[in-house]
Amino acid sequence: MWRATVLTLFPEMFPGPLDASVLGRGRAEGHWALDTVNIRDFSDNKYGSVDDTPAGGGAGLVMRADILSHAIDAVPKDNRPVLCLSPRGAPFTQARAHELAKGGGLVAICGRFEGVDERIFAARDIEEVSIGDFVLAGGEIAAMALIEACVRLIPGVLGSASSVREESFEGGLLEYPQYTRPREFEGRAIPAVLLSGDHQRIADWRREEAEKITRTRRPDLWERFLADGPIRRDKNKEPKR
């Protein structure tokens, strides 16, 4: 079973939001599992401290590599990658979520304070991962976001597999706009093509909208989409530049 093990100073934060809705149901039904390790349990002193002042001076506290290494070593990895949430990590992507969802799970280390002693990354096989260019107070919410992105891709967790296939990032594009009843909302109608029943026209319209939204909102994604070539693109249609 796909398993996430989270190393944290705040195990009481878990499962938290991961137990709501489809993820919670998926866990109850045995599609995935979650456990936490309290890093404080590996403290070597009676105060339970896990951090110390930064070498070289400066503000804050740094999590100690020795204590962290004991916590990491106590976790059965079972071939799962060990990730450390960090704003300096490689940006987490939908592609990485797919890779992780296909494997046996992951081990996530949540930093606190100023982060962790740099030597842990050389001493253990750890991948630093960021969920965005902003700074959180700790890795816990970042770990939850990452786990949620993976778990919803595990077969059986979401109702419909096709709703995953057509989503933002899946084909290299952001998703087209979605509408539902009522047909008119504050004088704004649902685009007529979506009510036409013409599946080809609807698909073409959605495709064009997805390209337009990606081009205007995320030029970085758009450039990559164009560069990726026709394998990921619809072979019959060249995108409008």
The contact set with ligand SAH (CB under 6 A) reads 85-88, 110-112, 114-115, 130-132, 134-136, 138-139, 142
- Taking the least distance from each CB to ligand SAH, the nearer of 59 and 231 is 59
**Whole-number minimum distance, CB 41 to ligand SAH, in Å?**
19
**Whole-number minimum distance, CB 146 to ligand SAH, in Å?**
8
- Taking the least distance from each CB to ligand SAH, the nearer of 116 and 151 is 116
Angstrom distance (rounded) from CA 74 to CA 38:
11
**Whole-number minimum distance, CB 13 to ligand SAH, in Å?**
13
Question: Which residue in the shown chain puts its C-beta closest to ligand SAH?
Answer: 111
- Taking the least distance from each CB to ligand SAH, the nearer of 132 and 230 is 132
Residues 6+ away with beta carbon under 8 Å from 108:
4, 5, 6, 7, 83, 84, 85, 139, 143, 146, 147
**Whole-number minimum distance, CB 88 to ligand SAH, in Å?**
5
Which amino acid is residue 227, in one-letter code?
A
- Taking the least distance from each CB to ligand SAH, the nearer of 136 and 190 is 136
- Taking the least distance from each CB to ligand SAH, the nearer of 36 and 86 is 86
Burial level of 20, CB count in 10 A (0-12/13-18/19+)? exposed
Query: 190 near 183, Cβ under 8 Å?
Result: yes
Query: 41 near 74, Cβ under 8 Å?
Result: no
Burial level of 212, CB count in 10 A (0-12/13-18/19+)? middle
- Taking the least distance from each CB to ligand SAH, the nearer of 143 and 210 is 143
**Whole-number minimum distance, CB 12 to ligand SAH, in Å?**
17
**Whole-number minimum distance, CB 104 to ligand SAH, in Å?**
22
Angstrom distance (rounded) from CA 241 to CA 238:
9
**What torsion, rounded to 10 degrees, do the Cα atoms 218, 223, 229, 230 define?**
40
Q: From 118, 32, 121, select the one nearest 72 (Cα to Cα).
A: 121
